[in-house]
Copies of this chain bind each other. A is one copy, B any other.
Amino acid sequence: MPEPDMTAAISRHGAVAVGACLTAGIHGQAHEGSYVSVREVARLLHFDCADNAMVSRKVFARRQTRDGEPLIRAGDAFHSLYIVRAGCFKTVHTDFSGSEQVLGFLMSGELMGADGIDTGYYNSSAISIDIGEVVVVPFAILARLADECPALEASLYRVMSHELVRVQNMVWTLGTLGAESRVAAFLLSWSAKLGALGYSCRAFNLRMTRQEIGSYLGLSMETVSRAFSALHNADIIHVSQRSIEIVDVDALRSELDPTTAIEASRSPRLASNRIRIVTDDDRHARNAPLPIGLAGRQLASA
């Protein structure tokens, strides 16, 4: 569907759109609700900003999406960032053969499209997997707005950083965890995300298929299914199709931390990269100190 509306026009011609967008906001030419103000974006991203005229102007276009609708296509010219306002989106790395890998499942307050800034072309696609809504942030107007609302800029950096951390944690998940652990990590992070949005973090419905989860975790659909079944049979979670109930959070967490391997840690000849305990005598000059059990935000990916 071409979608020849204001929103599409804005995301297609950055520079022109800035003026058009600002004008529309100021003069209120667009129909009610089509645009959102900086203040509303602030609410979405959880930051405070000064209360001046600019902040109240409705400068950002909204865009609603239907289930399955592509919002960003990898390879398209970059003009805008998108902040999820409602619904759920998946970002997908697609190659010409039609195969794809899911890079993330994003919800309210998260950023899409930032991978286009560097080259000027989006590096991944974004597809709505529900009825959704995003705020369109034309990249060109950011510098202008930053003068009026410095907090906006800081927040942009923050949300970009958040996305970077999310993907970094995903690399860790894919690089070090086995199948069952990956699924556990996925459930924990999804649960945490839902909890942060005010939903129950104990029982929820997944919005994606096993196939998509598998693609996201670098596993086959069958393996994901088996992992769900195994966790179910261990009474750690209850699964029925897409309905999930986390019965024993601690047990689920301990799936990430293979204490099973503590015995092996004694051996000087420690294992490869999978689950390895680093003893102090392990690191030589190159791997300096780094002792602390940072343990921090280990919700792994997503």
Chain A residues within CB distance 8 Å of chain B: 67-70, 73-75, 92-101, 103, 114-121, 123-125, 127, 129, 143, 146-147, 150, 153-154, 156-165, 167-172, 174-176, 211, 214-223, 257-259, 265, 270-279, 284-290, 292-298
Residue numbers in B under 8 Å from A216 (CB-CB):
175
- The listed residue (B115, B147, B297) touching A119 by CB distance below 8 A is B297
Q: How far is the CA of A271 from the CA of B100 in the complex (A)?
A: 10
Interface contact B115-A175, CB-CB below 8 Å: no
Q: How far is the CA of A218 from the CA of B159 in the complex (A)?
A: 27
Interface contact B67-A285, CB-CB below 8 Å: yes
Q: How far is the CA of A287 from the CA of B160 in the complex (A)?
A: 22
Interface contact B164-A278, CB-CB below 8 Å: no
| Contact (A275, B165) CB under 8 Å given A74-B296, A285-B119 | no
Interface contact B95-A295, CB-CB below 8 Å: yes
Q: How far is the CA of A169 from the CA of B211 in the complex (A)?
A: 20
Interface contact A272-B222, CB-CB below 8 Å: yes
- The listed residue (B116, B160, B297) touching A123 by CB distance below 8 A is B297
Q: How far is the CA of A168 from the CA of B5 in the complex (A)?
A: 31
- Closest residue of B by beta carbon distance from A97: B277
Q: How far is the CA of A114 from the CA of B160 in the complex (A)?
A: 9
Residue numbers in B under 8 Å from A101 (CB-CB):
171-172, 175-176, 273, 276
A262 shortest CB reach to chain B, Å:
8
Interface contact A286-B103, CB-CB below 8 Å: no
A63 shortest CB reach to chain B, Å:
15
| Contact (A68, B220) CB under 8 Å given A115-B161, A115-B165 | no
Interface contact B273-A117, CB-CB below 8 Å: no
Interface contact B117-A157, CB-CB below 8 Å: yes
Nearest 6 A/B pairs, CB to CB: A220-B272, A175-B218, A117-B161, A75-B294, A96-B295, A118-B161
Residue numbers in B under 8 Å from A286 (CB-CB):
67-68, 118-119, 127, 129
Interface contact B296-A123, CB-CB below 8 Å: yes
A166 shortest CB reach to chain B, Å:
9
Interface contact A287-B68, CB-CB below 8 Å: yes
- The listed residue (B129, B176, B293) touching A96 by CB distance below 8 A is B293
Residue numbers in B under 8 Å from A73 (CB-CB):
290, 292, 294
Among A101, A120, A259, which residue has the most Cβ atoms of chain B within 10 A? A101
Q: How far is the CA of A153 from the CA of B160 in the complex (A)?
A: 14
Interface contact B172-A171, CB-CB below 8 Å: no
